[in-house]
């Protein structure tokens, strides 16, 4: 594979970071003086002349070092969290005999002039009062959209898992635990919608305990990320909000925690009844039993996307069993063979081995990669470095094996290896993959802004590469929206690229620069109100502070408003985003309230709300506090 097709290979010398590979002054001088000519002259000159020459070199070095300390930046960047040693002193410009002999310290990469300008522009933009009020107004529009979605659900489907907004009724597609109520609750808390919090909270207090003990089969993963995750976030946020506003209506916070614990106690059967560390995928609540899916396999992403929730539950209850069982999965996966850190999308709870060779970051693979870094962030105090290692290796694998550029206009995308590394490459990218830009950015700076991370010398080459890839992929995800007639992304896109070209299957927006790059097949043209792109825009905005991410989010929101809003209440999915008017699909997924609208609201709002340094969002956008030694309620 040539470096052309691998824009993020560390072997690619064209890569952006090359600009940081400067030579030190000492290297420049010694290189100049050691040319063949000089060597000849020095051999010929007298000892006195030679010593004088040496003195001049030394003095020149000292003067230049003193006048322009930053020029002594060495090649490369600092290690993982950058050695701080020497940074301040050299920035002070002080000189000493010791320093003369010492190898100049490694300094962090600096923002390029372009980046500095764009950062300043964007910061300047944020500070302008008129723009500020515009973003507040946009945030209010998202809040209104949430109220509209909730009111449709409440009117026609209260207590069901999901709303069917066109037929105006409810449906239990997730086992009947009132998934929309729980998924939406913490969004309502974040938006400070007290009435919705009261309605959802009261429903949970009154109905959820009975549902948990009497309902039938549920999927372990879906129930954990939506219901357990939603309850735990609601618990944390309600504790915090009750402190500030003791008259807050709704149940006591302990109601949420008790329900989460009771449900998780039954879900644990999926782990304890499995013969290996890999849990069964399905649990029958009323029987307190678990079993494998009909084909005997679990999705890799499903088995590895339970740990944030179970760890936090152990933390709150003081009972280690939830964390113990769920972390066994990742500890076991650590030992399994992988392809450059990449894993097949199926795993067997019976053998504990991966099954098949299909590798992708879309469905069934996605959140395996997301939770490696998020669980590491959550557990940073416990020093589980193996998770960070697995994440880093996997991201290298992604860059080496899955990232390519489209033709003719060079959008960076993540493809698939349906038959493993020895089979062919497929230029197919699920919308689900659009979680990756956000995860990459989070993994690079650990939630602080890029400017701060650069200032504090915290970024490695790897982090910078990942951040650059994050920004490129976020653009691609955004273009997947803007290339269609509706301005909404399809479920799956293909990319014209080396070895693949397809005509006549475009998104319909003839004014898009990328109309010939993105191919949308007929079967993939639906939109389920998914959150991944706006999730990444939110994280990238917080980290880069570049307001283009907000603007992109706003245009996506406007398209949702225009084409998916149902007058009688709620929002609908679409059958085909490439035609106008698009045909509607009779389903409002729970994650529209739990994730999509939450991320949009946060994207347009104040960066201090749910800071990325204090919370990790589970894969269903439920913020979970990063654990400290203190029990943080
Ligand atoms: C959500 O349930 C979660 O984000 C999950 O990880 C992937 N799919 C949906 C949203 O698209």
* 239 within a domain of the structure (yes/no): yes
Distance CA 192, CA 245 (A): 11
115 catalytic per annotation: no
Could you please report the per-residue DSSP string of 586-627? S-B-HHIIIIIHHHHHHHTS-TTSS-TTTEEE-TTS-EEEPP
Does residue 530's CB lie within 6 angstroms of at least one atom of ligand 1?
Answer: yes
Atom of ligand 1 nearest to the CA of 590: 2
The domain that holds 508 is classified in CATH as: 1.50.10.10
Task: List the catalytic residue out of 161, 162, 222, 416.
Answer: 222
CA of 584 to the centre of ligand 1 (A): 21
Length of the chain: 633
Report yes or no on 504 lying in a domain. yes
531 lines ligand 1 (CB under 6 A): yes
pLDDT at 128: 59
Instruction: Tell me how crowded residue 115 is: count the other CB atoms within 10 A of its CB.
Output: 15
Ligand 1 nearest-atom number relative to CA 222: 2
Does the reported pTM lie above 0.85? no
Atom number of ligand 1 nearest to Cα 621: 4
| Domain presence at residue 88 | no
Rg (CA), the chain: 27
Residue nearest ligand 1's atom 6 by CA: 619
Question: Which residue's CA is the nearest one to ligand 1's atom 8?
Answer: 432
Calculate the CA 155 to chain-centre distance.
34
Q: Is residue 291 part of a domain?
A: yes
367 Cβ inside 6 Å of ligand 1: yes
- Does the bond joining 460 to the residue before it have cis omega, within 30 degrees of 0? no
Residues ≥6 apart with Cβ < 8 Å to 32: 38
Nearest of 631, 594, 508, 611 to residue 229 by alpha carbon: 594
Residue 58 lies in a domain: no
Catalytic residue check, 222: yes
Q: Is the CB of 620 under 6 A from ligand 1?
A: yes
Return the SS3 of 431. helix
- Rounded percentage of the chain residues whose pLDDT exceeds 90: 76
The full 3-state SS of 15-69, as one line of letters, equals: CHHHHHCCCCHHHHHHHHHCCHHHHHHHHHCCHHHHHHHHHHHHHHHHHHHHHCH
Closest ligand 1 atom to Cα of 530: 11
Q: Which residues pair with 450 in a beta bridge?
A: none
38 pLDDT exceeds 90?
A: no
Work out the percent of the chain whose per-residue pLDDT is above 70: 78
Q: What is the pLDDT of residues 135-150, one digit of tens each?
A: 999 999 999 999 999 9
Would you say residue 143 lies in a domain? yes
Range of the domain at 312: 130-625
Determine the average pLDDT of the residues in 408-420: 98
For residue 620, how far is its CA from the centre of ligand 1 (angstroms)? 6
- Per the rule left: phi > 0, alpha: psi between -120 and 50, beta: everything else, 451 is alpha
C-beta of 178 in contact with ligand 1 (< 6 A): no
Of 300-309, 374-383, 497-506, where does mean pLDDT reach its minimum? 374-383
- Using pLDDT thresholds of 50, 70 and 90, give the confidence band for residue 383: confident
List of residues 6+ apart from 36 with CB closer than 8 A = none
Contact 507, 521 (CB under 8 A): no
DSSP 356: S
Residue from 223, 219, 205, 217 nearest 286 by CA: 217
The pLDDT of residue 210 is 98
Q: Is residue 301 part of a domain?
A: yes
- Is residue 387 in a domain? yes
Q: How far is the CA of 452 from the centre of ligand 1 (A)?
A: 30
368 lines ligand 1 (CB under 6 A): no
Using DSSP bridges, classify how beta strands 573-574 and 518-519 pair: parallel, antiparallel or unpaired. unpaired
Sign of the C-alpha dihedral, residues 220, 223, 228, 230?
positive
Pairing verdict, β 412-414 and 403-405: antiparallel
Q: Which of 282, 366, 506, 545 is catalytic?
A: 366
As for how many domains the chain has, the answer is 1
Ligand 1 atom with the shortest distance to the CA of 301 = 6
- Hey, how many other C-beta atoms are within 10 angstroms of the C-beta on 417? 20
To 5 degrees, how large is the angle CA 358–CA 620–CA 135?
120
CA distance 628 to 381: 7
| Å from CA of 492 to ligand 1 middle | 14
Least confident of 3-12, 380-389, 425-434: 3-12
Determine the pLDDT at residue 242.
Answer: 82
pLDDT digit string (tens) for 312-343? Answer: 999 999 999 999 999 999 999 999 999 999 99
Ligand 1 pocket test target in 432, 573, 621, 623 with most atoms within 8 Å of CB: 432
How far apart, in Å, are the Cα atoms of 448 and each of 114, 391, 453, 549, 612?
A: 21, 19, 7, 17, 7
Whether ligand 1 lies within 6 angstroms of the CB of 591 is answered as yes
CB 288 within 8 A of CB 277: no
């Amino acid at each position: 594979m040539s470096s052309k097709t691998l824009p993020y290979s560390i072997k690619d010398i064209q890569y952006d970071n090359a600009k940081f590979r400067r030579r030190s002054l000492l290297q420049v001088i010694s290189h100049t003086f050691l040319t063949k000519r000089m060597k000849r002259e020095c051999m010929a000159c007298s000892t006195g002349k030679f010593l004088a020459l040496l003195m001049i070199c030394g003095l020149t070095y000292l003067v230049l070092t003193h006048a322009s300390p930053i020029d002594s930046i060495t090649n490369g960047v600092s290690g993982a969290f950058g050695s701080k040693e020497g940074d301040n002193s050299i920035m002070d410009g002080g000189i000493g005999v010791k320093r003369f002999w010492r190898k100049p310290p490694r300094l962090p990469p600096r923002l390029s002039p372009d980046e500095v300008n764009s950062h300043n522009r964007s910061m300047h933009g944020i500070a302008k009062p008129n723009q500020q009020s515009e973003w507040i107004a946009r945030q209010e529009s998202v809040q209104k959209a949430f109220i509209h979605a909730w009111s449709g659900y409440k009117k026609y489907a209260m207590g069901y898992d999901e709303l069917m907004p066109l037929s105006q009724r409810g449906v239990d597609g997730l086992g009947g635990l009132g998934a929309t109520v729980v998924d939406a609750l913490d969004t309502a808390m974040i938006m400070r919608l007290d009435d919705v919090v009261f309605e959802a909270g009261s429903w949970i207090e009154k109905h959820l305990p009975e549902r948990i003990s009497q309902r039938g089969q549920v999927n372990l993963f879906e129930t954990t990320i939506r219901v357990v995750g939603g309850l735990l976030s609601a618990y944390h946020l309600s504790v915090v909000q009750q402190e500030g506003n003791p008259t807050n209506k709704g149940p006591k916070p302990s109601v949420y925690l008790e329900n989460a614990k009771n449900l998780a106690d039954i879900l644990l059967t999926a782990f304890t009844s499995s013969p290996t560390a890999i849990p069964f995928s399905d649990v029958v609540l009323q029987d307190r039993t678990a079993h494998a899916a009909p084909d005997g396999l679990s999705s890799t992403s499903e088995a590895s996307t339970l740990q944030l929730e179970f760890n936090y539950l152990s933390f709150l209850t003081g009972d280690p069993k939830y964390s113990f069982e769920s972390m066994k999965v990742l500890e076991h996966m650590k030992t399994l063979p992988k392809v450059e850190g990449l894993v097949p999308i199926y795993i067997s709870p019976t053998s504990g081995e991966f099954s098949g060779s299909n590798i992708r970051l879309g469905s069934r693979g996605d959140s395996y990669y997301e939770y490696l870094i998020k669980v590491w962030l959550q557990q940073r105090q416990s020093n589980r470095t193996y998770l960070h290692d697995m994440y880093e290796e996997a991201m290298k694998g992604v860059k080496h094996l899955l990232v390519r550029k489209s033709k003719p206009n060079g959008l960076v995308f993540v493809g698939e290896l349906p038959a493993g590394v020895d089979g062919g490459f497929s230029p197919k990218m699920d919308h689900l993959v659009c979680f990756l830009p956000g995860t990459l950015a989070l993994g690079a700076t650990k939630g602080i802004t890029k400017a701060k991370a650069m200032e504090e010398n915290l970024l490695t080459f790897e982090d910078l590469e990942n951040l650059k890839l994050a920004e490129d992929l976020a653009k691609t995800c955004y273009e997947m929206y803007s290339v269609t007639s509706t301005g909404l992304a399809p479920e799956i896109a293909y990319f014209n690229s080396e070895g693949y070209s397809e005509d006549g299957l475009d998104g319909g927006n003839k004014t898009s620069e990328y109309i010939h790059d993105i191919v949308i097949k007929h079967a993939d043209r639906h939109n389920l109100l998914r959150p991944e792109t706006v999730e990444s825009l939110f994280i990238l905005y917080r980290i880069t502070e570049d307001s283009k991410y907000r603007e992109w989010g706003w245009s996506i929101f406007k398209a949702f408003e225009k084409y998916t809003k149902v007058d009688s209440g709620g929002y609908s999915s679409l059958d085909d985003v490439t035609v106008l008017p698009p045909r509607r699909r009779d389903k409002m997924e729970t994650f529209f309230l739990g994730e999509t609208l939450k991320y949009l609201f946060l994207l347009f709002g104040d960066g201090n709300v749910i800071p990325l340094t204090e919370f990790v969002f589970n894969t269903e956008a439920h913020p979970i506090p990063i654990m400290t030694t203190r029990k943080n309620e």
